[in-house]
């Protein structure tokens, strides 16, 4: 049970009454802890904003999804948004394809199914993407600079781009938890005939890929593709993620040589270990 104090402690950039209904919505999407409801709600709103809705439009859309069709007056009352802003927001949702007008008087607005709305936005962006790629000038030849990439999301985007655009070979090394998000696309690329090598701190058996187990530093991540581009750095559990990206030949060669030597060492160590086990087995059998 959520006490009334819970609502008074909340961020008043969003009206308390609106939070009350959104908390109820968060509970309906299987959020078990009332204390986390605010975070869930804000994540939903931030996510919708990335699909082109404003903060108030996102709140209105969530209310329409959870509460059904509403008039502008009802939406304003439910969210705590002013009536004029509620009407403006509902009209904008209709223009953006997130809501539709129900026939009758007074005018009521009904949410478009979330999957239908979001997938239509993705299709529109895909179409726009192709138009822009075809129309924008090509990028000038990339110079051999050292580039610092900050933020886990930006680093992930760069790694995915390099994996997707690789033509022959992909070597990735790092702590398993840092490599795990890329296993799907690595499997896809291996299935397309690319050589994929993984060095991580967990024993893996992945069809079509070569895997080695070796200790890794927490947060460590490194990638080299086609002996042309390198990303190396750290994505810590808590803290600022930063990686160095470069196509500079001396860094590429250094990283490539380091990986090659490490793989040889792992293979030698494994060979010695296997030989020891074999000798012990032979002695036991002889005994």
- Residue-level pLDDT at 238: 80
- Residue-level pLDDT at 145: 81
With a cut of 50, say whether residue 3 has pLDDT above it.
Answer: no
With a cut of 70, say whether residue 34 has pLDDT above it.
Answer: no
With a cut of 80, say whether residue 59 has pLDDT above it.
Answer: yes
195-217 residue pLDDT tens? 999 999 999 989 999 999 999 99
- Residue-level pLDDT at 27: 44
- Residue-level pLDDT at 137: 86
pLDDT range class, residue 26, cuts 50, 70, 90 = very low
Distance CA 282, CA 210 (A): 29
Superfamily of domain 146-282: Endonuclease Chain A (3.30.870.10)
183-193 residue pLDDT tens? 999 999 999 99
Distance CA 25, CA 111 (A): 15
Whole-structure pTM value: 0.63
With a cut of 70, say whether residue 102 has pLDDT above it.
Answer: yes
Percent of the chain at pLDDT > 90 equals 64
- Give the closest residue to 200 by CA, choosing from 227, 184, 180: 180
With a cut of 60, say whether residue 164 has pLDDT above it.
Answer: yes
126-154 residue pLDDT tens? 999 999 988 988 766 655 688 999 999 99
Domain limits, the chain: 4-112, 146-282
Average pLDDT of the residues in 17-36: 46
- Residue-level pLDDT at 268: 87
Instruction: Please name the fold of domain 4-112.
Output: Arc Repressor Mutant, subunit A (1.10.10)
SS3 of 120-168: the string is HHHHHHHHHHHHHHHHCCCCCCCCCCEEEEECHHHHHHHHHHHHHHCCC
Longest dimension (CA), the chain: 95
pLDDT range class, residue 237, cuts 50, 70, 90 = confident
What does each C-alpha distance from 205 to 82, 107, 200, 224, 251 come to in angstroms? 58, 60, 12, 21, 30
Identify the weakest region by mean pLDDT among 65-69, 260-264, 277-281: 277-281
- Residue-level pLDDT at 254: 93
Average pLDDT of the residues in 150-166: 94
Provide the mean pLDDT of the chain: 82
């Amino acid at each position: 049970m959520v006490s009334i104090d819970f609502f008074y402690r909340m961020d008043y950039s969003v009206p308390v009454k609106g939070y009350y209904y959104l908390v109820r919505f968060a509970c309906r999407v299987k959020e078990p802890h009332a204390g986390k409801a605010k975070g869930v709600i804000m994540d939903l709103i931030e996510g919708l904003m990335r699909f082109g809705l404003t903060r108030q439009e996102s709140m209105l859309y969530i209310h329409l999804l959870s509460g059904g069709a509403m008039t502008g007056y009802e939406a304003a009352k439910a969210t705590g948004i002013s009536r004029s802003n509620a009407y403006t927001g509902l009209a904008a949702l209709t223009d953006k394809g997130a809501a539709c007008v129900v026939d009758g008087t007074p005018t009521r607005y009904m949410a478009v199914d979330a999957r239908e709305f979001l997938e239509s936005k993705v299709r529109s962006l895909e179409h726009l993407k192709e138009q822009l790629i075809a129309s924008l000038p090509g990028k000038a030849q990339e110079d051999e600079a050292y580039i610092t990439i900050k933020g886990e999301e930006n680093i992930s985007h760069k790694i995915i781009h390099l994996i997707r655009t690789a033509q022959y070979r992909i070597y990735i090394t790092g702590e398993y938890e840092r490599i795990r998000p890329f296993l799907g696309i690595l499997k896809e690329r291996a299935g397309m005939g690319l050589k994929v090598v993984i060095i991580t701190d967990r024993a893996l058996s992945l069809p079509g890929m070569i895997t080695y187990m070796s200790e890794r530093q927490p947060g460590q991540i490194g990638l080299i593709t086609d002996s042309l581009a390198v990303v190396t750095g750290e994505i810590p559990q808590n803290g600022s993620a930063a990686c160095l990206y470069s196509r500079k030949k001396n860094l590429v060669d250094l990283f490539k040589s380091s990986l090659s030597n490490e793989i040889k060492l792992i293979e030698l160590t494994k060979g010695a270990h296997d030989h020891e086990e074999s000798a012990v087995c032979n002695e036991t059998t002889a005994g």
